[in-house]
Structure formats: C-alpha cells, structure tokens
Structure 1
Amino acid sequence: MKAIVLEKAGGPENLHLAEVQKPNIKKNEVLVAVKAISLNPADVKPKYNDEMLGMMYGKERPVILGWDIAGTVSEVGAEVSDFKLGDKVFGMVNFPGVGKAYAEFVAAPEAHLAKMPDHTSFEEAAATTLAALTALQILSGKINKGDKVLIQAGSGGVGHFAIQIAKSFGAYVITTASAKNKDFVLSIGADEAIDYRTQNFEDVLSDIDFVLDTQGGKVFTNSVKVVKENGHVFTTTGPDFPKEAQDIAKANKVNLSSMLVKSDSDDMNTLKGMLESGAIKPNIYKTFAFEAMADAHREVEKGRTVGKVIVSV
C-alpha cells in the first residue's frame, strides 16, 4: 500500500510517498480503507525534533504520522462485534500512541471508532476526530446551562468545535478571534467575539465560569485573571502552568487543569449524534491530495487555519 513516511526529523520536505506493507489486524481491530485524513498541530510539530519523535513514536523508522481517519471497513478481526465489511467509520486511532494514519489502510481498534453518520462526507467525518474529541472531553460534565464560557482561539480546530459544543450545553459563549474571523465564530454559536489584535480580553471580561485554553503561556495566565471564584481554566498545552498563573489561581480560588485527549468510541458516538442532530458541523478550511501531504503540513504550520485541514486519499 501507499503511505506518507518520515525517515528522519525535519520539515515538510522530509515527508514522502512510499510503498509499505499493509498492516495485519489483531482480533479486536478492523482494517480501514482510508478515504480522508485530518491534520492537527500534534501531527505537524513533532516531526522537527528527533527527541519528540522518539517519545511519541518510538525508534521505528520510517515513521507514519497521524491519527485522524475516515474510511470503509475492509477487514474485520475475529472479536469485533460492532462493525462489518463495508461500514463507513471514523475516529482517532491509538492516541496517545502510534496511529499510522497517513496511509491507504490503517489497523484500528474497534474501541476507537464509530460508524459515520448518514449524509456526512468522509472529509467531514475525518475532521470531527482529535479536535472535536478534545473539546468534548474537556467540556463534557464541566459546564452548566447559563455558564459564561471563554473559548480561546475560537476559529481554530479545537476552538470551533468547542464553541459549538459549549453552546449545545446551554452556555453563554465568548471567544477570541481575529476581526476577519468574527462573522465565522458568531455564525457557529459564539455570543461574543473579542478581536485579540485590538483588545486585551483580560481588560474587558470578568466573572467567567470556565475557560478552554489552547494557547498556553501569557494567554493562559491572563485567562486565570478573568475567572470567578471556584471557576475553572482548562488547557490543552500541558500541566506545567506558569508560576504567575498558579499564584493568581491560588489567590482567587480558581481551579487549573490540563488534559490530553484519548481515543474513545463512546465519545466518538457522542460526536456522531451531534453531527446527526446538527449540534456540530466541522469547517473544512482546505483539502489536499494525498500526494500533497507536505503542502497540507505547510498550511497547518501557518497557524491561520479556520477549522480543519483535510487530506483526501
């Protein structure tokens, strides 16, 4: 089969098309004939650093990157009960771990997939994976109807799902975005949009119940300043919180948390239901051909993506 491989750490130019062996599946896995792949910063950043590649992918080379797929089931393991040949499926495969998604075929645990909703394209399904799971797993069970929720970087992959999910939970949603993306974030459910280039959100907001942060650093620290007592700031950037943020949180009795998303079929089925009901809709920013994976990486690296970058196989 064809796959996009990375022989050694480096830029997008190090990604190249190669013939590799089709994976064998375990009893609890299905083999997915991949039709679409979704890209994330978590795909793009590690490729530059040998140490990070080793931590995430081990010593095996070449590396096949990626986790987010949609496609059809072409082979079924002996212990698989939820899927059959020909089923259209989507999911985030083996995260954290090695998903090997940049390939024509991917071996995926049954417990990481869901059936695609009717009337959803492979590209839309692939988009509704890591970023959507991150937003869902952070927000689910943590916000109540009427809560004031701040979503940082609302036009991004995680952010645009978080706006929609928080709104579906009945929250009052505020987000940060550039002026050119204001209409977009308002159209998907944000009640207020703050232009981060002309306004400091920490100067105009207060009494926030919950913040979902994807930026870290100063944005995370300033987020703590606007949260009410017993409120919560949740970040995707890891548990090493800035000292200033910790001091402010302690003084104001604000809770700080971080989370690493995990593959989960129950959550994938929740997203399936949200797609079916219209509670969420992925925004596909650009689509690239499989052979143009390097260009897709370059697009993500610009940091200006509105929604998701997709690769069609």
Structure 2
Amino acid sequence: MESSAASQPSVMRHIEYDRFGDRDVLTLSESPIPQPAEGQVLVRLHGAGLNPIDWKTRKGLGFAARQIESHLPWTPGYDAAGEIVAVAEDVTTLAPGDRVMGMIGFPAGGGAYAEYAVAAADELAIVPDELDLVTAAGIPLAALTAWQGLFEVARLEPGQKVLVHAGAGGVGHFAVQFALARGAHVIATASAANRDFLAELGVHEVIDYHTTDVVDECYGLDVVLDLVGGETGKRSLHTLGETGVLVTIPTVTADDIVSEAEAMGLRAHGMTVRPDAFHLDEIAELIEGAEVKVHIDQSFPLDQASAAHEKLEGGHVRGKLVLDCR
C-alpha cells in the first residue's frame, strides 16, 4: 500500500446509526481508520454531500434501507470529496495527494459522513483545481442523476425542449445547466423565490408551480425530467409531444407514472443513478470551463449532521447541502 508521507492518525470521527428512525438516531462515533483493500483508495474527506436518499434510508424507507438493515450500525453518505492519502498496491490510476470526488459505496456501503473513507478507485474523478473540496462534495450523486436522466435515458439533443421539475434543487440545478450546455430550450418549475436564481443560470422559462399548471403552459415537449413524482409526474405526461419522453426519478411513484404513460401511448421511464467516473470527468470539464456552477445552499460541520438532515427533510433547498468533514 502506498501512502502519503504525513503520518495519519489511527482513529477517525464519523456519523452512524444503529437503528432506523428520526434524526436523533444519528450519532457521532470514533472508529479505527479503514485501510484500502484491492482496487481501493483511502480518502481524507473534506466534504460529504447530502441527498434525499440519506434521510429516507435513515427512516428505513426505500431499496437502500433493505440492503443495510441487517448490517447496522452504518455510516451514511454517498457523496465524497477529499484528498487521497493511501492507495492499494494494484491501484495505478490515482496516487496520494490527488484531489478527488465520487459517489462511493452505493447503495450498501456509504461511508461519506466521516473524516476518512475507503472508495473504489474507479468511482472517483479528479476535482478541478479551482473548486474547493467541500463544494465538490455536492456534485456526484445529484449531478450524475441529472446527467444520466437527460443524456442516457431521455437522450436529450441540441434544440429540443425540456422541462425540469424542481429546477432549483440539488439535481434540478445541475439538470438545467447540463441541458443548456447541450443547447436545449430549458423550462423549469420552481417557487417564485427561485425565479431569479434560475434566470441567472440561463433558464429560458421559469414556471411558478404554486400558481401555474404546467399543462396550461407547456405542450409538445421532447423531454420532461420529473424530480417530484406522484401527481406532478402524471400531469406532466400531458405536456409531451408524440415522440417525447418523461424520466421520473422518485422511485416510489415511478411504476404508477410509467403505467399511466403506457395507457396514454406515451413513453416514460424510471431510473436509478449509478456511479460513473467517466460521467463525472465530463461534468468536471463543464465546471472547469465555467459552463456549470455548483450552488451550495448551506454547509454544516460533521457533528451537526442532525441539523443538516432537518433542513434536508424540509425540502426547498436551493442547490445542495454539504457536511464539512475537516
């Protein structure tokens, strides 16, 4: 194992829970720093991104909870950014000192709510020099969800019209920027408070979902990226053109929306994000070229993970929330 010259402490702080439940199950613990196994690296984390799957899993909801329920206590967090301090002997693509980010340990491993974490080398991408590592932690899962939803599933092309629901949120604020970078005409739903934020990102039309039904404003769309689900997803089917496609992200309502689309003779797909370092490299290039910005709504110290989850569960986060793990 190759490691950086600076001596590492032997113990780290991390957040864990030993049962599913409310925010009070999140506890700050100390454990030995893990060592990288074959194909892995050890990262000294600067930041961990928060995502809705974090609080849903903590409550015992969804597919990730089923995978970890017999392996508690568990350290949550899939979004990690930091500096590599050690690599396994078989890892040749990364080295100690590299600044990296990635979606790690998905779905059963997790581990990013910590001062150190091991990650598979092929889950990680190099962070652009001008981006600080706490901010970089807000990128992986949300940006990959937006990227894969738009370009792999919906196959968005330049010149097409796309509607992004919850355009100011974690996934949404990446999705609108990726679609704009691809040359699409971008419409987004948001609250009135986020209109200016989305306009600054370059969104062509912002629809206030409190006052306006998208069906009254949109028709003949090529792509809808539904980040809300439920009735919003079903209503949005009426905005599609004959060859349009709706991609819905919330898994709990995806089957219903896909069934309704089939009944209407339309196309809709659910999707689950997956780690992909090549996609992250492409995303990093857009950030490096100033075509995409990462917006951090708020940063919390590691020991305030409970407060971070409180804000996360409340919804209406503009961009991303992150934990500062330093």
TM range (shorter): over 0.9
Corresponding position: 1:24 with 2:67: no
- Give yes or no for the alignment of 1:217 onto 2:230: yes
Give the C-alpha shift of residue 56 in structure 1.
3.2
Unpaired stretches in structure 1, ≥5 consecutive residues: none
Q: Deviations over 1:110-144 (max 9, x none)?
A: 11001110110112211111000100111125111
**Contact 1:149 1:209 (8 Å CA) reproduced:** yes
Q: Percent identity?
A: 34
Query: What is residue 123 of structure 1 aligned with on the other side?
Result: 134
Contact residue 128 and residue 282 of structure 1 kept, 8 A:
yes
Shift of 1:244: 7.1
Map residues 285-296 of structure 1 onto 2, 5 A cutoff.
285-296=297-308
State the secondary structure of the residue aligned to 2:251. coil
Match of 1:34 in 2: 45
Equivalent residue for 1:74, pick from 62, 80, 85: 85
1:208 and 1:228 in contact (8 A); partners too: yes
SS of the residue 2:309 aligns to? helix
C-alpha deviations, 1:147-173, integer Å up to 9, x for none?
000000001100000000000010000
Q: CA deviation at 1:16?
A: 1.1
Match of 1:282 among 278, 291, 294: 294
Q: Which stretch of structure 1 is more off in the superposition, 239-248 or 113-122?
A: 239-248
**In structure 2, how many angstroms separate the alpha carbons of the residues matched to 1:287 and 1:165?**
24
C-alpha contact 2:44 2:115 (8 A) present in aligned 1: yes
Name 1:165's counterpart in structure 2.
Answer: 178
- State the alpha-carbon separation in 2 of the partners of residues 280 and 44 from structure 1: 27
**Distance apart, 1:51 and its partner CA:** 8.0
Query: Is contact 1:221-1:244 (8 Å) kept?
Result: yes
- Whether the 8 Å CA contact 1:135–1:161 is kept in 2: the answer is yes
CA distance in 1, matches of 2:34, 2:76: 14
Count of residue pairs brought into register by the alignment = 312
Label 1:308 to 1:240 Cα distance change in 2 as closer, same or farther (>3 A).
closer
Q: TM-score, normalised by structure 1?
A: 0.95
Q: How many angstroms apart in 2 are the aligned matches of 1:200 and 1:51?
A: 29
Q: Report the AA paired with residue 80 of structure 1.
A: V
Equivalent position amino acid for 1:132 in 2: A
CA distance in structure 2 between the partners assigned to 1:51 and 1:115 by the alignment: 31
Partner of 2:7: none
What TM-score, normalized by structure 2, do the two folds share?
Answer: 0.92
Return 5+ residue gaps in structure 2 as ranges: 1-11
2:268 to 237, 253, 256: 256
Q: Which amino acid aligns with 1:84?
A: A
> For the aligned residues, what is the CA RMSD?
1.7
User: Do structure 1's residue 109 and structure 2's residue 111 form an aligned pair?
Assistant: no
Shift of 1:299: 0.7
Q: Which residue identity is paired with 1:275?
A: I
Deviation at 1:304, TM superposition (A): 1.2
Maintained 8 Å contact 1:224/1:249? no
- Match for 1:220: what amino acid? G
Taking the aligned partners of 1:297 and 1:93, their CA distance within structure 2 comes to 19
Match of 1:228 in 2: 241
One of 1, 15, 21 as aligned partner of 1:10: 21
Q: What is the alpha-carbon distance in structure 1 between the residues aligned to residue 322 and residue 114 of structure 2?
A: 14
Answer with 165-174 or 73-82: which moved more.
Answer: 73-82
Is residue 307 of structure 1 aligned with residue 319 of structure 2?
A: yes
Report what 1:154 is aligned to.
167
Given candidates 186, 194, 204, the residue that maps to 1:191 is 204
